[in-house]
């Protein structure tokens, strides 16, 4: 992998985000949900899986498991079959059931609204917790997924490789009120243009702001 680009300033980040917000005015959480519980389930399922495929299984899953109480009691095999096409289905089913039980036993059947409580749940790391905080509770949530990590590196916003360290850098760089929307914008651009492989630099409106501009191998 190539050397990390020169790190950019808060101003660079702010201006870049403003430009992205004009490009993706509709950017938001793409996981279908109508409650914190549904978003928690969908986000756990989204690990190493596209949101499109998560949205394919969640209607039947939410109908069968409308509450943590129900999910904590259905047969594990049935849960596995309901989520099978999202991949890692054995791990995810086990975590979902553990998670559901913990909500019933320790949180009154409700999804907790703090990072400390969320990351205690099975299958919930900082990325998933920040999705919940930002999209179900309207709290600052700096989501560092594979897209955000990649774009933060390419844009020169963080030289780190570990998601937790990238998150620290981005939280320092961006205003708290922008964390969640910034995540959505970076994810949208990461999907459409700044892809992992063969990034579509020729169609990227951030070319003038991108430290990789002119770099031959833009892999």
Under the binding rule (CB under 7 A), the answer on residue 127 touching DNA is yes
Structure-token pair, residue 144: 């560092």
DSSP for 54-84, written as a single string: HHHHHHHHHHH-SSHHHHHHS-HHHHHHHHG
Contact 31, 46 (CB under 8 A): yes
Question: How far apart are the two ends of the chain, measured CA to CA in Å?
Answer: 8
Distance separating alpha carbons of residues 204 and 218, to the nearest angstrom: 13
Q: Which of 12, 32, 67, 87 binds DNA (CB under 7 A)?
A: 87
145 has catalytic annotation? yes
Question: Judged by CB, which is closer to DNA: 110, or 164?
Answer: 164
Under the binding rule (CB under 7 A), the answer on residue 33 touching DNA is no
Question: Judged by CB, which is closer to DNA: 12, or 126?
Answer: 126
Q: Which of 38, 145, 167, 169 binds DNA (CB under 7 A)?
A: 145
178 has catalytic annotation? no
Q: Which of 53, 55, 74, 139 binds DNA (CB under 7 A)?
A: 53
From the CB of residue 26, how many other CB atoms can be counted at a distance below 10 Å? 6
Residues that bind DNA (CB under 7 A): 29-31, 43-44, 46-53, 84-85, 87-91, 95, 119, 121-129, 131, 143, 145-147, 150, 161-163, 184, 187, 190-191, 195-197
């Amino acid at each position: 992998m190539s050397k990390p680009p020169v790190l950019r300033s808060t101003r660079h980040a702010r201006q870049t985000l403003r430009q992205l917000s004009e490009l993706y005015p509709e950017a938001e959480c793409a996981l279908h949900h109508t409650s914190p519980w549904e978003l928690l389930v969908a986000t756990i399922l989204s690990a190493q899986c596209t949101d499109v495929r998560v949205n394919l299984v969640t209607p039947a899953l939410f109908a069968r498991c409308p509450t943590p109480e129900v999910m904590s009691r259905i047969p594990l095999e049935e849960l596995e079959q309901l989520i099978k096409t999202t991949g890692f289905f054995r791990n995810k089913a086990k975590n979902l059931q553990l998670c559901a039980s913990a909500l019933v036993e320790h949180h009154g059947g409700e999804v907790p609204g703090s990072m400390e409580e969320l990351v205690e749940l099975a299958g919930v790391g900082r990325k998933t917790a920040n999705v919940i905080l930002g999209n179900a509770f309207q709290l600052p949530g700096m989501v560092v997924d594979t897209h955000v990590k990649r774009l933060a590196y390419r844009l020169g916003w963080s030289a780190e490789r570990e998601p937790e360290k990238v998150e620290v850098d981005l939280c320092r760089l961006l205003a708290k009120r922008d964390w969640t929307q910034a995540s959505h914008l970076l994810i949208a651009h990461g999907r459409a243009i700044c892809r992992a492989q063969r990034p579509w630099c020729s169609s990227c409106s951030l070319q003038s702001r991108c430290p990789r501009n002119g770099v031959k191998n833009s892999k």
